[in-house]
């Protein structure tokens, strides 16, 4: 069953009854800061019942951030005319849809995910881009979405040094409102979760960070 992230402008908004289908659901506000700390999930559902313009703006933020997880809209039939390719969505769910229809659409959205080559380096780090999981020597790392994206980005470019500004723009996206300290916080959290392999992420003094394929300690 799927783990669903439900993004809504109203924290008390009723959510789709996906638990009936065996899915788990976690709700957050339409706040870029909350997206950065979003838990790992399989499907993003964007609530369009309230402020449609705000929902569209959030969809654009997700695209700018390189959001790879399928996005579905939770939308009323009267608002369908506002949908177009700019939303970057995989599908939509009508608020009037039956449980059976919702179940089928979610399965189709999850089943249509592509790509996801598993990458392994000398440290034993394995990144699965389909399931959004990372393991180190067989141990699964409990990462948030942004922690996973940061680790994957560094792993895709082993040895390359990234400044904080580069990581902020390439991982968080140009529309992110936070400062470069966000990068330091996420690197610190990643190192803590890597445990004895924390030296995998090296610091290049006065420059930024890079992934050390050999897992050696750097200044």
Give the tens place of pLDDT for each residue, 122-164.
Answer: 667 888 776 678 888 888 899 888 898 899 889 888 888 999 9
CATH architecture of 3-111: 3-Layer(aba) Sandwich (3.40)
pLDDT beyond 60 at 76 = yes
Dihedral sign of CA atoms 59, 47, 43, 125 in order: positive
Residues of the chain with CATH 1.10.10.10: 119-211
Nearest to 17 by CA among 74, 71, 70, 69: 74
Cα 63–chain centre separation: 11
pLDDT beyond 80 at 197 = yes
pLDDT beyond 90 at 190 = yes
State the Cα–Cα distance between residues 99 and 170, nearest whole angstrom.
38
SS3 call for 96:
coil
Instruction: Write down the pLDDT at residue 215.
Output: 54
Average pLDDT, the chain: 80
Residues of the chain with CATH 3.40.50.2300: 3-111
119-211 CATH choice from 1.10.10.10, 1.10.3720.10, 3.40.50.300, 1.20.1630.10: 1.10.10.10
Instruction: Write down the pLDDT at residue 171.
Output: 83
């Amino acid at each position: 069953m799927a783990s669903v992230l439900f993004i809504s402008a109203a924290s008390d908004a009723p959510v789709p009854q996906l638990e009936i289908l065996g899915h788990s659901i976690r709700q957050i506000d339409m706040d870029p800061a909350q997206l950065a700390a979003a838990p790992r999930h399989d499907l993003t559902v964007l609530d369009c019942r309230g402020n449609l313009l705000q929902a569209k703006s959030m969809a654009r933020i997700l695209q700018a951030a390189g959001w790879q997880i399928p996005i579905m809209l939770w939308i009323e039939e009267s608002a369908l005319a506002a949908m177009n390719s700019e939303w970057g969505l995989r599908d939509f769910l009508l608020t009037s849809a039956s449980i059976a229809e919702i179940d089928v659409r979610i399965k189709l959205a999850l089943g249509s995910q592509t790509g996801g080559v598993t990458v392994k380096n000398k440290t034993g780090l394995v990144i699965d881009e389909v399931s959004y999981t990372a393991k180190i020597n067989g141990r699964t790392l409990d990462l948030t979405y942004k922690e996973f994206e940061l680790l994957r980005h560094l792993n895709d470019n082993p040895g390359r040094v990234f400044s904080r500004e580069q990581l902020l723009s390439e991982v968080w996206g140009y529309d992110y409102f936070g400062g470069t300290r966000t990068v330091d916080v996420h690197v610190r959290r990643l190192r803590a979760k890597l445990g004895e392999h924390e030296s995998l992420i090296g610091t290049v003094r006065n420059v930024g960070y890079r992934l050390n394929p050999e897992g050696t300690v750097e200044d």
